[in-house]
Chain A
C-alpha cells in the first residue's frame, strides 16, 4: 500500500516538475522559434509553433545592422572582469569573516546584503553623474567597477558560506607549518574551497552577463554589451519581433551554453554544505 502511494506520488511530482520546467523554459523556446520566422509570421494570429517557413533572414539582417562581435566582447570583458576583481576582493573578506569573526561580522554581512534591497534606480543619478564627471560614460571600466560592487555582497556571502565548512584546524596546521597569511589562502583555503569558488564565479558571470539596468543606462555604442544590443531592437517606431528574437537568441546563446556545460558544478556549488 505504502509502495503504491509513493509511486503515485512520484508520478505526480514528476509531472509537476516537468510542467514547471516547461513553463519556465517556454519563453526562451518561443524566442528562439520566433527568430526563425518572418516579421509577418512573428505577429500572426493564431501563432504557428513549428509550421512556418523557417528562415535565417533575421540573423542576416541583425548581423548586417549591428556589430555583434563588439557587443559580445564587451559582455565577456565586463562579466569576466567584474567577476575576477570581485573574487580577488571577496576571498580575503570572506576569509576574515569566516575564520576571525568579530562581534560585528553578522551585522556587516546583513548590511552588505541589505544593499541588494535598494532599487538600482535609487542611485542612478549619483552614479551617472560620477561616471560622467570622471569621463567614464560608455566605458567598460565604469561597468566593470559598478558590476563588481553590485555583485560583491553575493560573492562574499557565498564564499563565506563555503569557507565556514572548512575545518579551522587545517588552517591552523598550515600556520604551524610556517605558512604566511598569503600562503594559507593561496595553497590551503583556495584549493579546498575550489568547488564553491567555481560555482560562485559561474553564478556571478551569469548575473553580470544578464545585468541590464546599468549596462543600458551607462553605455551608448562603444561599451555596450549584449543586453544593450538586444534593447536596440525593441524600437518604439515599429514591431520587429523576429529581429528582436534573433538578437536575443544570439545574446543568450553563449551564457546558455556555458550554463549547460557547468550545470553540474553550479548545482553542486549552490547546494554545497546543505547536506552533510
Chain B
C-alpha cells in the first residue's frame, strides 16, 4: 500500500504549461519531500496526486491502479493543508470524525479511532473545543489527526509547518518524522524549506519550473548534486559557485565549494579576501568574504568562534576532494 507512480504527467493552466512531462516513482513507506523555490510547481504536483487538480495528460497510478480520473475521495489519500483547513463550525472531535462519518463507519468504531488518534497527538483535553479556540500547533495536530484516522495509503502534506513559529516548527517536524517511523505509511511532503527537506526525507525531489532537477537521498543531493541548481539550492549557507579563470584551472566552467569545506588562515592560503560581516552563532561562525576576485561575496562556515573583524584580510583554502565541478550547461562533471 502506498506506491505512487507518475508517468509522463503534464499540467497546463490555459496556454501555460506548469508541469512539462514528468515521471516519478514513490515507493511504499517512503518519506518523499518535494522541494524547490516558490512557483516551481511542487504544490501543483501534490494537488495532481491528490486529485484536487486534473492532469492535462499522463497517468497517475496509486498501488498499481490507474487513479488519473478518480476524484480525491476515491484515491485513499489524506492531505494536511498549510492553512490547516479545519472545519470551523465543528468541534475537534467532529473534525477528526468527519472522514469516518463520510465513510459510513458506525459510532463505536468512530469513537475508538478518534480516542486513539487524540491520545497519540495529545489532543484528548481539546476534543470538545472548536478550532478557533486552539493554538496553531494544536490546529495542525488536529489536521494530522483527521488524516490519520482514515488510515490512508499515503499522506500528503502541503507546507504544513509554514504558518507556525520557528520553535514550534522544529517540534512539529520531529513529531511528523516520528509519526512516519511509527505508521510506516508513504508520506509526500511539500516544502520550500530545504532544512525541513534534509532532516525529514528518505528521498528528496528537487523541482524547478515544473522540472525534476534531481531525485535522491538528502546526503546524495548534498554530496553529489547533479547540477548547479541543486548544488546552490541544497545546503545552508549556500554553496559558493565560482566561474571564470579559477574554474578553468580545474577543467570546469563552474566550480562549487560549500562554506563548510574551506579552511581559513590569517597568513596563507589559496584565495585571499577581506572580511565583510561575521555572523557568530556560537557553535558556528559564518564569515562573508569580499574582494576575492572570484565572486561578489564568498561565504565561509567555521566550527566554533573565530576572531574576524570587518576589514581583516584572510586566506581561504578549499578542501580539494570536496570541490564540485560543473560544465558549461551546469551539469556535474565526474
A residues engaging B (CB < 8 A)? 167, 169-170, 172-180, 183, 187-188, 191-192, 194
Contacts and interface: CB of A to CB of B under 8 A. Distances in A.
A173 B156 CA distance: 11
B85 A178 contact: no
Interface stretch (B95-103, B202-210, B270-278): B95-103
B253 interface: no
Q: Chain A binding site: helix, strand, loop or mixed by DSSP?
A: helix
Given A169-B81, A179-B102, A180-B73, A174 B52 contact: no
Contact of A170 (B72, B73, B85, B150): B85
Nearest to A190: B89
Contacts of A179: 73, 98, 102
B52 A172 contact: yes
Contacts of A175: 51-52, 71-73
Nearest to B101: A187
Interface in B33-81: 50-52, 71-73, 77-79, 81
Contacts of A170: 85-88
B75 to A, nearest CB: 8
Given A169-B85, A172-B81, A177 B98 contact: yes
A179 B83 CA distance: 19
Contacts of B51: 175
B141 interface: no
A139 B210 CA distance: 62
A192 B89 contact: yes
Contacts of A174: 87, 98
Contacts of B72: 172, 175-176
B83 A176 contact: no
A177 B81 contact: no
Greatest chain B CB density within 10 A among A173, A175, A183, A194 is at A173
Interface string B135-166: 00000000000100010000000000000000
Contacts of B82: 169
If over half of B's interface residues share one DSSP class (helix, strand or loop), that class is named, otherwise mixed; here it is loop
B102 A191 contact: no
B79 A173 contact: yes
B50 A176 contact: yes
Contact of A176 (B79, B86, B89): B79
A97 B73 CA distance: 22
Contacts of B150: 177-178
Contacts of A180: 73, 102
B88 A176 contact: no
A176 to B, nearest CB: 5
A169 B89 contact: no
Nearest to B94: A187
A176 B77 contact: yes
Shortest 6 CB-CB contacts between residues of A and residues of B: A173-B85, A178-B102, A177-B99, A169-B85, A178-B73, A175-B72
A177 B52 contact: no
A172 to B, nearest CB: 5
17 contacts: A167-B83, A170-B85, A172-B52, A172-B72, A172-B79, A172-B85, A173-B85, A173-B146, A176-B72, A177-B78, A177-B98, A178-B73, A178-B99, A179-B73, A179-B98, A188-B87, A191-B89
Select the residue from A170, A175, A176 with max chain B CB neighbours within 10 A: A176
Interface string B186-206: 000000000000000000000
Given A177-B146, A178-B73, A183 B83 contact: no
Contacts of B103: 178
B148 to A, nearest CB: 12
Given A170-B86, A176-B79, A180-B102, 15 more contacts: A169-B83, A170-B88, A172-B72, A173-B79, A173-B81, A173-B86, A173-B146, A175-B51, A176-B50, A176-B52, A178-B102, A178-B150, A180-B73, A188-B87, A192-B87
Contacts of A188: 87
Contacts of B79: 172-173, 176
A183 B101 CA distance: 10
Contacts of B83: 167, 169
Nearest to A191: B89
A183 B85 CA distance: 16
A191 B90 CA distance: 9
B78 A176 contact: yes
Contacts of A187: 98
